[in-house]
Structure 1
């Protein structure tokens, strides 16, 4: 079963003569137990999924933090749509955990209202309602609709109050990607706003990138009296400048084995190609082209006639190098937020870095925005004053980033996460934000803290306090009366922490820092708020990884797999990967045998693998 779920082998691999010969060579006695039908594996898959699902449910029931959800929708090669529901939390031992909770088939509609029933079913199945945390997804309007419908469902079924606005966090990588796409493709604010509105219409099922690309191509077709062909397509890309030319060159190389071989002979390594759905693929193409400028110039000289207007001039190369330099922070910011256990505390800091990149470029704009150092209206373009296209590109990227930065004001969790970072605290806001923004952010964090400050102490914190309050001797009573230390509870934990000087962490993440025992002792209530917030993912990249894994499962010769089987295979694979399955069993003549697992695990006869 593990080979099917985790290594993407067909369910009937147990019938392969080569596989059976290998088992027989290891142990001839196994011959009588070999199966000649893949149906046996399918039945075992159902039993294994049901049993291990109970184990995952126990992990969630003992969570120390809220259970946060990252979700996304994917269209598979089968022409089926799936919604991935991926959870993240802190377990009983104060270790961060992840798990795919479901990959249900989304039939007939991709709208948010169609996603909600699947989400409610998963909440019921794993008993998540009392522990539901934040939902992370891209900026698609269907996610807003889904959470509004979810709020209604949770209220009707569980009597819970769920705020679909403050419980919604936006995938930071998606915001960066949108800003990058605007930088590359948008020609005006009106065109950009139209593309965003088109993408927000759930009935369209298009992305901002798709909408911008379609506008580029449609404008070219109109100039060519509506004729749409390969030449018009390349002309459309060429209309965005040197980056469009580079795209056409990459496509030109890829679309012919002869030209690909010619490029390989010259450069010895692939140039690559951009992809609308791959974040930062344009930067990678730029990086490869600039590092191989010499070989690319030789190739362009060889195919000068075929490439015609896509030949890169000296001025084009200068623009490409400026673009590469400008986009580097976008690339690194995305990588930072894709790291294992990247948290929401990174979101505003990375957006501040990108805003500073725009400010350094002296972007012209007529509105006041949250500057890194002050509230400012930047009126004059300087760095790229001699390149009108670059001026417009920087302006378009800034416009999108500012639009989604303002969205973060609707949810205090972003600024609260910054304040709870041991290396930032209030000093970060005092040093980098204007007074108006600081006061709003701190007030929001205090309102959030009010939900935690009067909570009963956890059992281990209460036990420590009771030990400290044991009967004391007269000497100890006098000594305590002379103490200048604060009594537990005398000082507000939140104010104490955020107003203390930042200090270097000896841990990899702020979440890990807060999970340490010394922080749990010093901040018996604040640490709970900290792990609830800092366990929220910065991006919805875990569902993307699930889709990549599922794509390998649904190979061209496995297209007949049912959606239910695909969901179970992906869940089991994910649970193994995330170390949630601790004990593996095999069944021989109805006898359950342990083949792997921790010695202290409690055997479960129903757990078949």
Structure 2
């Protein structure tokens, strides 16, 4: 079990640290998973700092979240009353959707898969295939890709590359009598239609499966595009049985996981200055029926103001503590310094604190939403984190809220990448290490790479662990 913490350092740079690479003994029930996670939290002393937890969609994980949510509610106040405590991995949901759809059309791609497999089993066959491709004037820098059936994106890559060489396969068949899996024209037509559907999922997966995990504001635009293409293709291919069944299975899975309003992705999208409420008003009617869309828009707006009110209340408590501290310092300074030298400054500090407590006519959130959306050029590399970093003085409270929301991971890709290191840690020469030793190697390697990695600025790396005010775990 890999437990990864996500947080923002003082320089507004996203941080990721593997806290535990834990050997979890069976049985793998929700209770045992919750106990193991809570044990790791206790070792680190961060039980009261966990705001969200991101998991894939296994039933045991759902049970574990229920136990953890109850445990955390007994220790401290849950972030946003626990409304977004459990974050479901978007990458996993996307994979389930496409796998269900591909299961309906497995016969469509069978001949293409067997053809590619036959060619890639022999270098001489590939050489002959390449020579024929030159004869038919196909000189694109591409090659055939053999898919892994359990990875849908590799299936898309296989179909996409095979379609480029569709005119080469029959000519190769004329030269090799052992080649018996030649796709028909109908097979190629079906594969082309399937690729049109999978293309939008592929574009979304490029966001979901980012090596440096993306901020949560980027996901809603991809989600509504997926629903839009499913609705469109469901009507377009109403008379085509194999595609209709594929799209319907995908839509069914979409409704199961994203049929209800995803509050985290919606609030994160509003906190992107390029989108604000406009994206919600634009995309929800495309995702939900008319009445349900209006209801969900109102739900997002109400939740946004409710969350902001929590930050206002928290800031008021913080100001009261600061005021008591200033008063204490003022009384001490009067008794220990020449009368009048510091009294004026202390009185001003107390007055300034009181003025800060007076609520303005419009809140940060009202001002932000009333401003126009930020328009950036197509070639401009926009970062929501940098935008909010530059707006911290203008939006003192709202920037804190954006800091916490945008740092929440919406996929478990960052954690799952740790398992890719297994072959490097446990190889043929080091295959009998204790679980504690493996954990030490994985965690130490991750922390050192984060400390000295080229992608992370050295300026914000001083005592990152002290800035873990809101920790998001998966």
TM-score for the superposition, normalised by structure 2: 0.77
Q: Give unpaired runs (5+ residues) of structure 2.
A: 132-141, 285-292, 327-345, 349-357, 464-474
Give the corresponding residue for 2:46.
128
Alignment check: 8 A CA contact 1:172 1:538 kept: yes
Residue number in structure 2 paired with 1:262: 125
Q: 1:302 to 1:138 in 2, by over 3 A?
A: farther
2:169 is matched with which residue?
296
Identify the residue that residue 498 of structure 1 maps to in structure 2.
369
Q: Report the secondary structure of 1:536's partner residue.
A: coil
Aligned to 1:513: 387
> What secondary structure, in the 3-state scheme, does the structure 2 residue paired with 1:246 have?
helix
Counterpart CA distance in 1 for 2:280 and 2:312 is 23
Tell me, in whole angstroms, the C-alpha distance in 2 between the residues paired with 1:577 and 1:267.
42
Shift of the alpha carbon at 1:509?
A: 2.4
Once the two structures are superposed, residues 287-315 of structure 1 have per-residue CA deviations (whole angstroms, 9 ceiling, x without a partner) of 121123234344445555553xx431011
**For the residues of structure 2 that align with 1:296 and 1:312, how far apart are their CA atoms?**
8
Number of the residue aligned with 1:417: 268
Instruction: Give matches, 1:206-605, under 5 Å.
Output: 240-253=106-119, 256=121, 259-267=122-130, 271-278=144-151, 280-302=153-175, 305=178, 307=180, 310-339=181-210, 340-361=212-233, 363=234, 381=235, 383-407=236-260, 409=261, 412-433=263-284, 434-456=293-315, 489-504=360-375, 508-516=382-390, 519-579=391-451
SS of equivalent residue, structure 2 residue 392: helix
- State the Cα RMSD in Å: 3.3
How far the C-alpha of 1:93 sits from its partner, in A, is 2.8
CA contact (8 A) 1:422 1:510 kept: yes
Task: Give the aligned partner of residue 337 of structure 2.
Answer: none
Count of residues paired in the alignment: 406
Deviations 1:513-569 (A, max 9, x none): 2223xx111111111111111101131101121111123222233221222111111
Report SS of the residue matched to 1:547: helix
Q: CA deviation at 1:151?
A: 2.5
Distance 1:456 1:441, change over 3 A: closer
CA distance in 2, matches of 1:262, 1:555: 34
Distance in 2 (CA, whole Å) between partners of 1:300 and 1:120 is 60
CA distance in 2, matches of 1:179, 1:491: 43
CA distance in 2, matches of 1:141, 1:554: 29
Matched with 1:149 is 67
Could you report, residue by residue, the CA deviation over 1:416-468 in whole angstroms, capped at 9, with x for unpaired residues?
Answer: 11111100001222233342331122122222222112222779xx99xx9xx
Q: Which is bigger in relative contact order (C-alpha 8 A, separation at least 6)?
A: 2
Query: CA distance change for structure 1 residues 430 and 86 in 2, over 3 Å: closer, same or farther?
Result: same
Structure 1's 581 and 346: CA in aligned 2 closer, same or farther, altered over 3 A? closer
Q: Do the aligned partners of residues 502 and 306 (structure 1) sit closer, same or farther apart at CA in structure 2, a change above 3 Å counting?
A: same
Q: Secondary structure at the match of 1:437?
A: helix
**In the aligned structure 2, how far is the partner of 1:581 from the partner of 1:334?**
25
8 Å CA contact 1:337, 1:343 repeated in 2:
no
Q: Deviations over 1:543-602 (max 9, x none)?
A: 1211111232222332212221111111111112212799xxxxxxxxxxxxxx99x989
Distance across 2 between alignment mates of 1:454 and 1:179: 41
| Other structure's SS at 1:242 match | coil
| Shift of residue 153, structure 1, vs aligned partner | 3.3
Closer, same or farther: CA 247–573 of 1 in aligned 2, 3 Å:
same
Describe the shift of the 1:155–1:416 C-alpha distance in structure 2 as closer, same or farther (beyond 3 A).
closer
* Distance verdict in 2 for CA 1:580–1:165, change over 3 Å: farther
Question: Which of 113, 118, 130 lines up with 2:31 in the alignment?
Answer: 113
* SS, match of residue 451 in structure 1: helix
SS in 2 for 1:101: strand
User: In structure 2, what is the Cα distance between the partners aligned to 1:488 and 1:304?
Assistant: 83
CA-to-aligned-CA distance 1:379-403 (integer Å, 9 cap, x gap): xx3x224521112111211221222
Q: CA shift at 1:320, angstroms?
A: 0.7
CA 601–281 in structure 1, closer or farther in 2 if over 3 Å, else same: closer
Change (3 A) 1:601 1:456: closer
Name the CA distance, whole Å, in 2 between partners of 1:142 and 1:251.
Answer: 37
Report what 1:203 is aligned to. Answer: none
TM-score where L is the length of structure 1 = 0.61
Structure 1 residues 431 and 161 mapped into 2: Cα distance closer, same or farther (>3 Å)?
Answer: closer
Report SS of the residue matched to 1:489.
coil
Q: Secondary structure of 2:4's partner?
A: strand
SS at match of 2:5: strand
Question: Counterparts of 1:580 and 1:146 in 2: how far apart (Å)?
Answer: 35
Name the CA distance, whole Å, in 1 between partners of 2:71 and 2:37: 10
Q: 1:282, CA displacement in angstroms?
A: 1.3
Larger helix proportion, structure 1 or 2? 2
CA distance in 1: counterparts of 2:167 and 2:303, whole angstroms: 54
Contact 2:51 2:78 in 1 (8 A): no
Map Cα deviations across residues 35-77 of structure 1 (whole Å, 9 max, x no partner): xxxxxxxxxxxxxxxxxxxxxxxxxxxxxxxxxxxxxxxxxxx
Instruction: Report if the CA contact (8 A) 2:8-2:15 is conserved.
Output: yes
